[in-house]
Chains A and B, each alone.
Chain A
Amino acid sequence: MKRWISLLLAVCMLFTLVACGPKDDKQDQPDDSNNDQQQSESAGTYKFGGIGPLTGEAAIYGNAVKNGATIAVEEINALGGVQINLDFEDDVADGETSVNAYNTLVDWGMQCLVGTVTTGACIAVSAETYKDRVFTLTPSASSVDVIDGKDNMFQVCFTDPNQGTGSATYMAANMPEAKIAVIYRNDDAYSQGIRDTFVAKAAEEELNIVYEGTFTADTATDFSVQLNAAQAAEADLIFLPIYYQPASVILKQANDMGYKPTFFGVDGMDGILGMTGFDTTLAEGVMLLTPFSADAEDDLTKSFVEKYQAAYGEVPNQFAADAYDAVYILYNALEKAGCNPDMSAEEICEKLIEVMPTLTYTGLTGTDMTWASTGEVSKMPTAVVIKDGVYVTA
């Protein structure tokens, strides 16, 4: 009998959860959905979809993108005029789930896609958006494969080759004598992609790479072998084209070993200061290439950081800024192309493809950003150093 009661209780619990779920959702964003519907009769409402990892190991990026995009959407909606309705779906940074999320959004009636956040998933989704003619602007999927051969794909972030060559160029200009070690994750498209272009450019610039160490998703918890080898090779600059979680382990272990080289990261390193349980003093002196610095002095950055902190209680990272820009870029492009919310996704897509190469946009992550018709963005990366827990332009 007890078993039946427990089963019954569990079923009750399940139903309560299912029943409560959507309500919770609405409580999160009470304004946009209701307001949109009221105002949609006058100026119309665009349906923007978003896809990114809201759960799982890359969740910090997905949530940052979601939050950044939400702020931009709220600002635009507050202007009156044309409204935007944003639906952001979770994909756990997995291609299969991402395509499922994309299909869900298509059913919802999405007109433009802001996403997806991670590279591997984005490649899978971009093939679908290309087939369906849905205009897609990814805030952060940086691989060339994302945009390769797909005229509807545009990026806000740098491509991987740009990050690799950018890092090598920066090192050649500022620390040409350094003995460089590279530690990268060789089962990850992002990490391997940057490493390949970095090494190619480094050879061209005659940089001295003394050691290359690899790891995989399964071995990302211990780096003593790679760090010891780098130390034995007398490396004084360690290039880490990896995400911030393994990087935090590397920083911790290097510190424990008493090994103090300069660490140099790329945009995946961004977010390390916001990581829970990480001692940020370990990140002192870490350099990274990023298009966005939260302590920049311009008004746009200041207001964005302020709003972000008020709403989500943390300092926004580069992904949030990319997403904020992405929504505004779409907004500007839609306006310039003379689109209206009643148009279908295909019509909007064709118009935006024409407009994008002519667009110039100044936002959080760059001034006078322009796009090639291939989808690649042109903007300048800046190198920052972490000092006293904040980014300072190097």
Chain B
Amino acid sequence: MNKLNNMKKSTKVDFATYLGVIIAFIVITVLMNNGTLGRKQVGLLVPACCYVVMAVSLNLTVGILGELSLGHAGFMSVGAFSGVIAAMSLAEAIPFEPLRLAIAMVAGAVCAGIAGVIVGVPVLRLRGDYLAIVTLAFGEIIKDLINCLIVGHDSEGLHIIFNFKGLKTVDDLGLLPGGNVIIKGAQGATGTDTIASFTAGVVLILITLFVVLNLIHSRTGRAVMAIRDNRIAAESVGINITKYKLIAFVTSATLAGAAGALYGLNYSSLQATKFNFNTSILVLVFVVLGGLGNIWGSIVAAIVLYVLPEALRSVADLRMLVYAIVLILVMLATNSPKMKAVLSRVIPRKKGDEVNE
């Protein structure tokens, strides 16, 4: 108990976050098994997990690193499609689904990480809002590239063609009999085995939290935050700006890729247009409303704002209106000084604990 009291405030919050996720997982699993949760609620679990991971990982870029990224859905897209390719082409080699899902998520993470390096290396050397511009373009480019991508798999392995002129079709893959087409250009990935599971989603959230929280509290994290707070001061004490920016950005992209793979394997049909600018902004909204740099805030915001439009189905036509009003209310409430005063009275804070102010 003494040890608990001696812990830093931030460490306590971190433990509470892990604990919250685990308790939520146990409660939901119990409810699922005794049939209290309907199909609707169960169906929302996996995508909610994906959006939580997306929000937490984007918070690393936007909240901790302080760079605006408008193409987070692009990394999700890379992860989703590479994950789907990995899972579908290994369907026969690895019939055990959880293992296949894990491999697909690793594949998605690696591919998105590579994309993160490609985007990050040139752009993170610059000052100013270039990352926002380039990631915005990246999201659009990825969408167009995947629209050109035709991928199939047969006993000889993977067949990939790029349909840049729009004149090639699935027949040009030259698949052997028994082979199956995984991605059909603009028609996206269809006929995917839906092997994603809630358990995998929660494990991914825990891994994400572990990676992000440890990164934040490590030497690297302090360097990253120093760069965010004052780039010149950070440079003057010998911090390699580009290196630390790149570490944070690529980590963020990698986690988004894993979330994408999980998302992609949850639906039997997936088009690249799903991961458009709107999806990037949606995730950014989760992060901003949850609080920049506030990890548990991102989790809560992602869950609430994802579930809300579905929960409002009963109000039919008005649901988007209600959703908008809730967004505005949350903005007003979380930013009002009075609200903050009330909160600080409820939750007494020690000086110097705040990361995000």
Of all chain B residues, the one with the shortest Cβ separation from A99 is B43
Interface flag for A393 (CB, 8 Å): no
Query: Contacts A106-B39, A124-B268 known; A17 to B321 CB distance under 8 Å?
Result: yes
Q: Are B321 and A107 in contact, CB atoms less than 8 angstroms apart?
A: no
CB-defined contacts of B157 to chain A, threshold 8 Å:
none
Q: Are B267 and A95 in contact, CB atoms less than 8 angstroms apart?
A: yes
Interface flag for B26 (CB, 8 Å): no
Q: Which of A181-209 contact B (CB under 8 A)?
A: 185-189, 191-193, 196, 200
Query: Contacts A95-B274, A123-B268 known; A212 to B322 CB distance under 8 Å?
Result: no
Of all chain B residues, the one with the shortest Cβ separation from A106 is B39
Interface flag for A313 (CB, 8 Å): no
CB-defined contacts of B267 to chain A, threshold 8 Å:
95-96, 99, 124, 127
CB-defined contacts of A3 to chain B, threshold 8 Å:
332, 336, 338
Q: Are A100 and B43 in contact, CB atoms less than 8 angstroms apart?
A: yes
A261 to B68, CA, bound (A): 47
Of all chain A residues, the one with the shortest Cβ separation from B169 is A196
CB distance from A62 to the nearest CB of B (A): 12
A22 to B333, CA, bound (A): 27
A193 to B188, CA, bound (A): 11
| Chain A binding surface SS class | helix
Contact of B38 (CB < 8 Å), options: A103, A143, A217 = A103
Q: Are B38 and A192 in contact, CB atoms less than 8 angstroms apart?
A: no
Comparing A8-16, A288-296, A302-310, A328-336, the segment that makes contact with chain B is A8-16
CB-defined contacts of B44 to chain A, threshold 8 Å:
100, 103
CB distance from A193 to the nearest CB of B (A): 6
Q: Are B316 and A90 in contact, CB atoms less than 8 angstroms apart?
A: yes
Of all chain A residues, the one with the shortest Cβ separation from B50 is A96
CB-defined contacts of A25 to chain B, threshold 8 Å:
316
Interface flag for A89 (CB, 8 Å): yes
Interface flag for A24 (CB, 8 Å): yes
Interface flag for B144 (CB, 8 Å): yes
Interface flag for A281 (CB, 8 Å): no
Of all chain A residues, the one with the shortest Cβ separation from B314 is A22
A121 to B187, CA, bound (A): 11
Q: Are B40 and A103 in contact, CB atoms less than 8 angstroms apart?
A: yes
A113 to B195, CA, bound (A): 24
CB-defined contacts of B38 to chain A, threshold 8 Å:
103, 106-107
Encoded as 1 (CB less than 8 Å from any A CB) or 0, chain B from 131 to 160 comes to 000000000100110010000000000000
A145 to B42, CA, bound (A): 26
Q: Are A14 and B326 in contact, CB atoms less than 8 angstroms apart?
A: yes
Query: Contacts A14-B322, A192-B186 known; A187 to B40 CB distance under 8 Å?
Result: no
Contact of A189 (CB < 8 Å), options: B144, B166, B271 = B271
Interface flag for A78 (CB, 8 Å): no
Encoded as 1 (CB less than 8 Å from any A CB) or 0, chain B from 214 to 233 comes to 00000000000000000000
Q: Are A192 and B187 in contact, CB atoms less than 8 angstroms apart?
A: yes
Q: Are A187 and B269 in contact, CB atoms less than 8 angstroms apart?
A: no
Interface flag for B129 (CB, 8 Å): no
Encoded as 1 (CB less than 8 Å from any B CB) or 0, chain A from 113 to 134 comes to 0000000110110111000000
Q: Are B269 and A148 in contact, CB atoms less than 8 angstroms apart?
A: no
| Chain B binding surface SS class | helix
CB distance from B79 to the nearest CB of A (A): 16
A143 to B184, CA, bound (A): 12
A interface, how many residues as a size bin? 35 or more
Residue of B140, B186, B325 ringed by the most chain A CB atoms within 10 A: B186
A227 to B42, CA, bound (A): 48
Of all chain A residues, the one with the shortest Cβ separation from B144 is A216
Interface flag for A258 (CB, 8 Å): no
A55 to B43, CA, bound (A): 22
CB-defined contacts of A11 to chain B, threshold 8 Å:
329
Interface flag for B185 (CB, 8 Å): yes
Of all chain B residues, the one with the shortest Cβ separation from A120 is B271
A7 to B334, CA, bound (A): 12
CB-defined contacts of B64 to chain A, threshold 8 Å:
none
Q: Which of B309-336 contact A (CB under 8 A)?
A: 310, 312-322, 325-326, 328-329, 332-333, 336
CB distance from A224 to the nearest CB of B (A): 19
Q: Are B310 and A100 in contact, CB atoms less than 8 angstroms apart?
A: yes
Q: Are A7 and B191 in contact, CB atoms less than 8 angstroms apart?
A: no
A218 to B333, CA, bound (A): 35
A18 to B144, CA, bound (A): 40
Encoded as 1 (CB less than 8 Å from any A CB) or 0, chain B from 170 to 194 comes to 0000000000000011111011001
Query: Contacts A22-B314, A127-B268 known; A4 to B322 CB distance under 8 Å?
Result: no
Interface flag for B108 (CB, 8 Å): no
Q: B: which residues have CB within 8 A of A?
A: 38-40, 42-44, 47, 140, 143-144, 147, 166-167, 169, 184-188, 190-191, 194, 267-274, 276, 310, 312-322, 325-326, 328-329, 332-333, 336, 338
**Besides the known contacts A22-B316, A187-B273, A196-B169, 17 further A-B residue pairs in the complex with CB atoms under 8 A apart:** A3-B338, A17-B322, A18-B315, A21-B315, A21-B316, A21-B317, A99-B43, A103-B40, A104-B310, A123-B191, A123-B268, A149-B191, A185-B186, A186-B166, A188-B273, A189-B186, A189-B188
The 10 closest A-B pairs by CB, nearest first: A21-B315, A127-B268, A123-B269, A103-B43, A189-B187, A107-B38, A103-B39, A192-B186, A103-B40, A106-B39
6 A-B Cβ contacts within 8 A? A3-B332, A10-B332, A18-B318, A21-B314, A124-B269, A149-B191
